Structure 1
């Protein structure tokens, strides 16, 4: 029987830092996708990226890229404020979408996107690439197949004051342009909001991926010596207890991971700075055999693995395993709930939040 070797033709919207550091390379290296097109309003940046990554086509106008019948899917790699509009346009044009996280910045806009996804019949996947960390995947398999009931989940995401020394050393040189399209305001003007969107979205999605649905949070926030620390008690739908620690930035090395206590075993995970492309060290304790296992995970390119999973789903070769529209919406609800709880001092149900972060 002949093998379907068709590649998913991907267009990347945005030539900014995340596209340069992750998405262009992923599309070039993916086993089942190709970098078909790139699009950016900044002509100088577009030309330079085209010379570097050699897509088949380049566009300065997004609508023109979406009108190309050969294009299968779009990676939305723009600023957070533009995610929903860009994803909506692609879905309405009949293109699958891999949208950078967070899906959006307000409950109403991401809830509105749900209808667009349903009406389009296309796939929308949110770029929570940690779901493609082989260590986290091994923990998920253990939870689903062996662990039994979940008692408690603890997760932490602590950015480091030293992270930029590391990223400057390992990331490619990021090219900037004065012509790039930017949001109306400076995203970093409100650091509480910026840190929650950039880092809290990861922490919440990891907690949901491994612990299940979150229904309520009760959070506290402290800001001292330029560092922000959120501690959030979490109620899972299963009745399990949860605790999340989002601290930016700690005076130490990058500190990210999780602990899971279950009926038939426990899990302890250490996650590294994502730009090291190093699989998390995840130790799984099996009560039945009294043994501990850890997957090697030699392939730690989470962004490429994410794109390959997305492409397999779009090409009909496998079910989607990444974060879907519901995951993206719940992540946004969770971030807003934590922010509202920290301000009010009361527990907040995710289903009841509204507004923007």
Structure 2
């Protein structure tokens, strides 16, 4: 791991549940320019066990008390989706920078309010679209931005597997749970269309938009059979690029994720792995000029740590924000809401006209 720098961003993690245990505690510990300063959870048993395991400087049962700590500089929001916007708003009001798990919110209007708060405070808010820090995807983005010329088409897919838990349980830490954990009203997983779109579709949309630019309209179809959901989504990009997305949960087979981009001076073929393997995407970039294909090794595939390091560098050193900002987070929520409306209406939907929940 990189050697720790002299100046470390003091980070507090809100929520001690699975995503914090699998990604954020370790990222704070390993990041070269950040530290796990504090953790916060209302469940005493869970918080105390995580404090004993990860050794933050401070542990809080009350979020407002953590936010009132003058030494705390930033928070990672690692809670259920429904709590993201309220928790981020409170952090901004307390003068703290925010790294919020994706999706940024569950409805267009609440994220618009959050975007206004970010503009008003001038603080940094980054969305946890950690795939932007996958070295393979970074290489693809760099080629598109500097050498590829005009884009013609993008195809991207995110197909979860019925066997993914057998695979990921072997590499993830054993998750600690608590009966006292705070949960949103109702069961967020009861509506599978909404849950799968928020959990997985947010990644797919952000990757497509990150690589090919602003999405202006979508036309979506949904197939529901034998407990699996499959969305095929045609995209219109502002630059004229054609796009197609495949979101399927879950396929009977191995994890399938990746993208293909066709452009004026080359093309890109990418295979992305389940994130818990911390393995960079296999990205092959074809250069038309000399008819060669190049592949980036991407040896450092800890995207969660790398996204925190980028977040900290922006705050500590004023570097340009590399990760997804609040505008990107809002665009992702708009895109997911547009897909839901398109499925309901059976016709194309422009993102500019979309309001309401995903």
TM score, norm. by length of structure 1: 0.99
Alignment match, 1:309: 310
Helix, strand or coil at the partner of 2:169: helix
Contact (CA 8 Å) 2:15, 2:41: kept in 1 or not? yes
Q: Deviations over 1:276-315 (max 9, x none)?
A: 0000000000001111111101111000000000000011
C-alpha distance in 2 between matches for 1:139 and 1:64: 43
Which secondary structure does the structure 2 equivalent of 1:220 belong to? strand
1:136 has 2:137 as partner? yes
Q: Which residue of 1 aligns with 2:337?
A: 336
* Pairing 1:49–2:46 present: no
Q: Give the alignment of 1:144-183 within 5 angstroms.
A: 144-183=145-184
Query: Equivalent residues in 2 for 1:38-117 (5 A)?
Result: 38-117=39-118
1:255-274 equivalence runs, <5 A: 255-274=256-275
Q: Deviations over 1:204-225 (max 9, x none)?
A: 0000010110000000000001
Residue-by-residue CA offset, 1:233-282 (whole Å, 9 max, x unaligned) = 00000011000000000011000000000000000000000000000000
1:315 is paired with a residue whose SS is helix
Asked if residue 290 in structure 1 is aligned to residue 286 in structure 2, the reply is: no
SS at match of 2:189: helix
CA distance in structure 1 between the aligned counterparts of 2:122 and 2:93, rounded to whole angstroms: 10
**1:187 counterpart SS class:** coil
Distance 1:199 1:17 in 2: 16
Give the length in aligned residue pairs: 355
SS at match of 1:55: coil
Unpaired stretches in structure 2, ≥5 consecutive residues = none
The runs of 5 or more residues in structure 1 that have no matched partner are none
Does the 8 Å contact 2:5/2:33 carry over to 1? no
What's 1:6 paired with?
7
Counterpart in the other structure of 1:224 = 225
Matches of 2:5 and 2:61, distance apart in 1: 32
Say which SS state the counterpart of residue 143 (structure 1) adopts: helix
After superposition, what is the alpha-carbon deviation per residue over 1:14-62, rounded to whole angstroms, capped at 9, x for unaligned? 0000000000000000000000000000000000000000000000000
The CA distance in 2 between the partners of 1:169 and 1:202, in whole Å, is: 23
Q: In the TM superposition, what is the alpha-carbon distance from 1:317 to its structure 2 partner? A: 4.7
SS where residue 341 of structure 1 aligns?
Answer: helix
Q: Distance between the aligned counterparts of 1:199 and 1:119, measured in 2? A: 30
Please state how far the C-alpha of 1:5 moved relative to its aligned partner: 2.5
Which residue in 2 is equivalent to 1:31?
32
Q: Is the 8 A contact 2:218 2:233 kept in 1?
A: yes
Q: How far apart are the structure 2 equivalents of 1:303 and 1:14?
A: 16
In 2, Cα distance between the equivalents of 1:5 and 1:150?
43
The CA distance in 1 between the partners of 2:60 and 2:46, in whole Å, is: 12
Q: In 2, Cα distance between the equivalents of 1:308 and 1:211?
A: 25
Deviations 1:81-113 (A, max 9, x none): 000000000011110000000000001000000
* SS, match of residue 283 in structure 1: strand
Shift of 1:318: 2.0
CA distance in 2 between partners of 1:251 and 1:4 (Å):
46
* Separation (CA, whole Å) in 1 of partners of 2:334 and 2:5: 39
